[in-house]
Every structure is written in C-alpha cells, then in structure tokens.
Amino acid sequence: MPSDQMKKIMKDFLKGYHPLVAEVNGIRRPIAHSKNRTVRWVIRNEKQRLRKIDGIAKDREIMDAILGECDLVEVLDVVEGCIYRISAQNFAKYRRPFYADSGGHQYIVNRSKWSRESTLPPTIEDKNKPKAVPLF
C-alpha cells in the first residue's frame, strides 16, 4: 500500500485531469486520465509492473484509442517513486506488441526510451554526495 506521502503525490499527479473510463472485466473504471493532450496513468503496486521485462505496458485497445488524441504520455510509478514521460510519437515509434495472461494484449515500451523524474525529495545521503563538476 502506498505511503501517505505517495498518496498525496498520486492525488496531485491526477489533479485536474479527466478520467478516461473503460469496462474492464465487466466493471467500468478509470484506466487513464487526460488534459490538454496529455494522458496519465498510475502504476500503483508491484502486481501492475512487469517482472521480466524492463518496460512500461498498457492495454493495446486503450493506447490505440488515445494515442491520436494526445501529445505526451506520463506514468507515475508509485513502486519506484518516479514519473516516466514519453511523447506520443515516440510511444508509437518504440512500442512492441506484448501479451500477458493477466493483462491481455498490450503495447510495451522499454523504460530506457522514457525520461525519468523522481517524485521523492532527496535523502540526506543524496544531499551529502559529492556533485560531479565539468573538468573543462
């Protein structure tokens, strides 16, 4: 279960975004959120992450429906404590079809293709680490 700090980050991440609702296993629920041509969703727990592939995946039908309507895709990974971003154009360029027994047909994009931003404040250890400086 996410910490109180991460719950606030999730709430702020989705604030002002409109839910995109779909029927999943007979239940209507939000599958992503959108605003100003940006689509967002949250990876809330370890079960929603891929175990053997270092990538981010989303249902193929959902992505086919929203990619033409957005310019930017953002994913908050609560487990890792960071936000991943990729342009819709690069998502379409780097996506690969993927099938998971639990999630059905999806598209996956390797995490190396996404930009990554930490959502957590730096720890005391991070503040005390020497910073790299250019030599020339």
Q: Which of 81, 83, 39, 45 is CA-nearest to residue 59? A: 39
Comparing CA positions, the residue from 84, 132, 127 lying closest to residue 108 is: 84
Longest dimension (CA), the chain: 61
Asked if 30 and 18 count as a contact pair (C-beta separation under 8 A), the reply is no
Task: Report if residue 78 sits inside a domain.
Answer: yes
pLDDT at 19: 93
93: number of CA atoms within 13 Å, CB side?
7
Q: Is residue 44 part of a domain?
A: yes
Look at residue 135 and tell me if it is in a domain. no
What pLDDT sits at residue 110?
A: 92
Counting the structural domains of the chain, the total is 1
Would you place residue 22 in the very low, low, confident or very high pLDDT band (cuts 50, 70, 90)? confident
136, part of any domain: no
Instruction: Kindly state whether residue 117 falls inside one of the protein's structural domains.
Output: yes
Question: What's the pTM value of the predicted model, to 2 decimals?
Answer: 0.81
pLDDT of residue 124: 46
Specify if 133 maps to a domain.
Answer: no
Is 74 within the bounds of a domain?
yes
- Token pair in block for residue 3: 């910490």
Does the pLDDT of residue 39 top 70, yes or no? Answer: yes
Pairing mode, if any, of strands 38-43 and 27-35? antiparallel
- Which domain, by its residues, includes 57? 4-128
